[in-house]
Amino acid sequence: LKHFLSIEGLDKGLLTEILDTAESFAGISEHQVKKVPLLRGKTIVNLFFENSTRTRTTFELAATRLSADVLNINIATSATSKGESLLDTIRNLEAMHVDMFVVRHALSGAAHFIAQHTAPHISVINAGDGQHAHPTQAMLDMFTIRQHKKQFEGLKVAIVGDILHSRVARSQILALNTLGVAEVRVIAPKTLLPAHVRSMGVIPLHDMDEGLSDVDVIIMLRLQKERMNSAFLPSESEFFKCYGLTEAKLLRAKPNAIVMHPGPINRGVEIASSVADGPQSVILEQVSNGIAVRMAVMTMTLGHHGGAA
Ligand code: CP
């Protein structure tokens, strides 16, 4: 695994290896061991052209726990604001003998572009590119589902909200189907579903009562207003009425269903506070699991298989 750019094309064995490796790293913090020397001497560059709270910080924590050195490039104060191109920025960072770029960019394909043009010894991890993919988010979500449900076979999963603009949903759908869940439903108004939704391996539905019926996992998504034409912005109150997850709507799911959200959450828009903070919510567990999953992906791409063992 040289780069980690997308879930597309990865098989069940590899996804399971990432989850198993992450599990060995999750055990580290349980045993109060904060660091392992697996990536000592390596330099990781966090190159975030788009804002982030969870992904950037958990990548930094993951790298630190693997004993790597981390450079966080602040794009707002970097020379990109003086017109330096993406490739020139990469070339200059390469000249500092770095080993990995963790890239977030508003343009779909940006991480692939960097992977194609960077030096052969450098690994690239996609930390979210436009509407295309967010593969480490999908894997930390799979990790969280496996923690709670033990296996993927037989699970019914509903993904609710702005599927159209969601790189998270695209990566989750690929991972869920590869890992062998029984059913992936996407629940949204037609305007927030991609035109080719039927070819995505999902069941598209427009009604929450029908869509949430008997599901094991509910994944709520934020309205990605930054990727919408302002003329077509849905009304938040209308959206909440039809597609917001409330305690009443949650009753349609299995009693032990878990509620997930990649964050950031917009309370009262796609999810009620009582559900986000309620007993079925695993939203903050997703954040914690991001560290172990990113440790796994970093070690596997830099050629250190076998996790913490
Ligand atoms: N889930 C996620 O990507 O969150 P951030 O934008 O805060 O990284």
Q: Could you tell me what percent of the chain has a pLDDT over 90?
A: 87
**Residue 65 assigned as binding residue:** no
pLDDT of residue 306 exceeding 50, the answer is no
Number of alpha carbons in the 13 Å side-chain half-sphere of residue 263: 19
Query: Which of 126, 137, 222 maximizes ligand 1 atoms within 8 Å of its Cβ, making it the mutation to test the pocket?
Result: 137
Question: Is residue 104 annotated as a catalytic residue, yes or no?
Answer: yes
Least confident stretch, 15-29, 45-59, 165-179, 287-301: 15-29
184-198 pLDDT tens trace: 999 999 999 999 999
Which listed residue (55, 89, 118, 144) is catalytic? 55
241-286 pLDDT tens trace: 999 999 999 999 999 999 999 999 999 999 999 999 999 999 999 9
Predicted local distance difference test score (pLDDT) of residue 59: 98
Residue type, 232: F
**What ipTM was reported for this prediction?**
0.98
Alpha carbon distance 238, 258 (integer Å): 25
Domains assigned to the chain: 12-132+287-301 (3.40.50.1370), 135-285 (3.40.50.1370)
Q: Would you call the peptide bond into 264 cis, given omega within 30 degrees of 0 as the criterion?
A: yes
Question: Is residue 82 annotated as a catalytic residue, yes or no?
Answer: yes
Average of per-residue pLDDT across 10-18: 98
Predicted local distance difference test score (pLDDT) of residue 79: 82
CA of 139 to the centre of ligand 1 (A): 13
Question: Is residue 91 annotated as a catalytic residue, yes or no?
Answer: no
Average per-residue pLDDT for the chain: 94
- Asked whether 108 lines ligand 1 (CB < 6 A), one says no
Using CA positions, which residue lies closest to atom 4 of ligand 1?
Answer: 54
CA of 264 to the centre of ligand 1 (A): 6
82-109 pLDDT tens trace: 889 999 999 999 999 999 999 999 999 9
pLDDT of residue 43 exceeding 60, the answer is yes
- Asked whether 126 lines ligand 1 (CB < 6 A), one says no
Question: Is residue 246 annotated as a catalytic residue, yes or no?
Answer: no
Least confident stretch, 65-79, 126-140, 223-237: 223-237
- Asked whether 2 lines ligand 1 (CB < 6 A), one says no
Which listed residue (2, 16, 43, 54) is catalytic? 54
- Asked whether 54 lines ligand 1 (CB < 6 A), one says yes
Tokens of 267: 């309370």
pLDDT band of residue 29 (cuts 50, 70, 90) is low
Least confident stretch, 36-40, 80-84, 286-290: 80-84
Whether 302 contacts 42, CB under 8 Å: yes
Alpha carbon distance 135, 107 (integer Å): 15
pLDDT band of residue 78 (cuts 50, 70, 90) is confident
288-299 pLDDT tens trace: 999 999 999 999
CA of 10 to the centre of ligand 1 (A): 23
Average of per-residue pLDDT across 218-227: 92
Predicted local distance difference test score (pLDDT) of residue 218: 99
**Residue 55 assigned as binding residue:** yes
Average of per-residue pLDDT across 133-155: 98
pLDDT of residue 13 exceeding 80, the answer is yes
Distance from CA of residue 73 to its chain's centroid?
A: 21
First to last CA, the chain: 19
For the sheet containing 69-74, what is the strand order?
Answer: 69-74, 43-48, 100-105, 123-129
